[in-house]
Amino acid sequence: MQALTNRAKAVNRRPMTFWERLYLPAIVRGLGITLKHFFKKKATVNYPEQKRPFSPVFRGLHILNRDEEGRERCTACGLCAVACPAEAITMEAAERQPGEEHLYREEKYAARYEINMLRCIFCGFCEEACPKDAIYLTETFAPSNYKRKGFIYGKDDLLIPFPEKAPEA
């Protein structure tokens, strides 16, 4: 019978020598490897005190961006929700009322915008699909939580604060 892949290796069936039966050379070689790794620099990072450098393409928590005047950029077009392979984004659109021009950029806005971080795979497709550059993936870790409800981020959690009210945030 022919093998499906070329990864098959021939098995050596010769009898073991005296030294191989003792297993001492194998044990000494294993201890040598252990001692070699014992004196190497450790790969552990003490997290709160030390921060490890991130790759420039690292994708972390999502944020909803505002424009220069502090208005929400999201127009609830739904392209980010459609592009999300994990179906982690849900939104509901609403019409802008008269007098709300200082809050929303377009006539339509996202009345409800939620991202389920337990489903999110941080692929960045939502960021690429957004025509208004409203959603970004930052270089921040998703914080831990004890309840599932804490991982569903609403619009209040995702929006950048108003620049006039809280410039330091």
Residues 143-167 have pLDDT tens digits of 888 999 999 999 999 998 865 555 4
- Ligand-binding site membership of 74 (annotated): yes
Q: Is residue 155 marked as binding?
A: no
- The answer to the question of whether 61 is labelled as a binding residue is no
pLDDT band at residue 31 under the 50/70/90 scheme:
very high
Q: Does residue 80 have a known ligand-binding role? A: yes
Q: Give the CA angle between residues 59, 122, 155 to the nearest 5°.
A: 95
Question: Does 123 count as an annotated binding residue?
Answer: yes
Domains in the chain with CATH codes: 62-158 (3.30.70.3270)
Residue 157 known to bind ligand: no
Percent of the chain's residues with pLDDT above 90: 45
The per-residue pLDDT for 166 is 52
Find out whether 89 is annotated in a ligand binding site: no
Instruction: Give pLDDT tens digits for 74-118.
Output: 999 999 999 999 999 999 999 988 888 888 888 899 999 999 999
Q: Does residue 165 have a known ligand-binding role?
A: no
Model pTM?
A: 0.67
